């Protein structure tokens, strides 16, 4: 099964397969093999990669998953290749439906860089969320008009929580 995965701003197509208790990932021409077991918690997995054991917690969100290995937590966005194709097509044809920018992980809103009614281009910074002492600048995927700002500065947010709604770009 293929997915598009975004990790720390880097996108890659990932071919994901399981064979019994083996996990096979192919990413950018590299293959990763691991023995894995789902632990009773349901969100925790035990992976054995090249003789080293890793405990991984995957907390699913709406499109963005929090993946914790050791003491590091990363926001990982997973999309089906068709979804990526549709998003690309929307960008080429002016969007049309707008978008909702969501928090990739729990954190604190430290800056709102737009106001209601502002017109933004794809890639324009919209809001900054601090998580694990790092500031993450969230940007618009598509151009559009800021319809609603759903949080205030210094607000605590949960992973997947809607932060800013953009309407379709003006034609």
* CA angle 154–122–80, rounded 5-degree value: 95
Q: Per-domain residue ranges for the chain?
A: 2-79, 95-167
CATH topology of domain 2-79: Glycoprotein, Type 4 Pilin (3.30.700)
139 near 123, Cβ under 8 Å? yes
Query: φ, ψ for residue 127 (rounded to 5)?
Result: -155, 150
What is the C-alpha to C-alpha distance for residues 169 and 104, in angstroms, rounded to an integer? 24
* Extended beta strands in the chain, E state: 2-7, 10-19, 22-27, 30-38, 44-49, 52-59, 64-69, 72-79, 99-102, 107-112, 119-120, 125-131, 134-139, 144-149, 156-157, 162-167
7 near 23, Cβ under 8 Å? no
pLDDT at residue 94, rounded to an integer: 47
pLDDT tens per residue across all 171 residues of the chain: 888 888 777 888 888 898 888 989 898 889 989 998 888 877 898 989 888 999 998 887 666 888 888 888 888 888 776 666 665 555 544 445 678 898 888 899 999 999 999 999 888 999 999 988 889 899 988 889 999 999 999 999 988 889 999 998 776
What is the C-alpha to C-alpha distance for residues 15 and 31, in angstroms, rounded to an integer? 9
CATH topology of domain 95-167: OB fold (Dihydrolipoamide Acetyltransferase, E2P) (2.40.50)
The answer to whether the predicted template modeling score (pTM) of the entire model surpasses 0.75 is no
Query: φ, ψ for residue 121 (rounded to 5)?
Result: -95, 165
133 near 158, Cβ under 8 Å? no
């Amino acid at each position: 099964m293929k997915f598009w995965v975004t990790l720390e701003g880097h996108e890659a197509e990932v071919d994901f397969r399981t064979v019994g208790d083996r996990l096979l990932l192919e990413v950018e021409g590299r293959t990763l093999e691991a023995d894995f077991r789902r632990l009773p918690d349901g969100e925790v997995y035990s992976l054995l990669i090249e003789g080293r054991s890793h405990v991984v917690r995957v907390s699913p969100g709406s499109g963005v998953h929090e993946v914790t290995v050791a003491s590091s937590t990363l926001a990982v966005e997973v999309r089906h290749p068709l979804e990526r194709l549709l998003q690309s097509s929307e960008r080429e044809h002016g969007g049309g439906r707008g978008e909702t920018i969501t928090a990739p992980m729990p954190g604190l809103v430290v800056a709102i860089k737009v106001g209601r009614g502002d017109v933004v281009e794809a890639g324009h910074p919209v809001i900054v969320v601090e998580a694990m002492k790092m500031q993450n600048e969230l940007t618009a995927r598509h151009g559009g008009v800021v319809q609603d700002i759903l949080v205030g500065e210094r607000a605590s947010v949960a992973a997947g929580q809607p932060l800013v709604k953009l309407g379709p770009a003006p034609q």
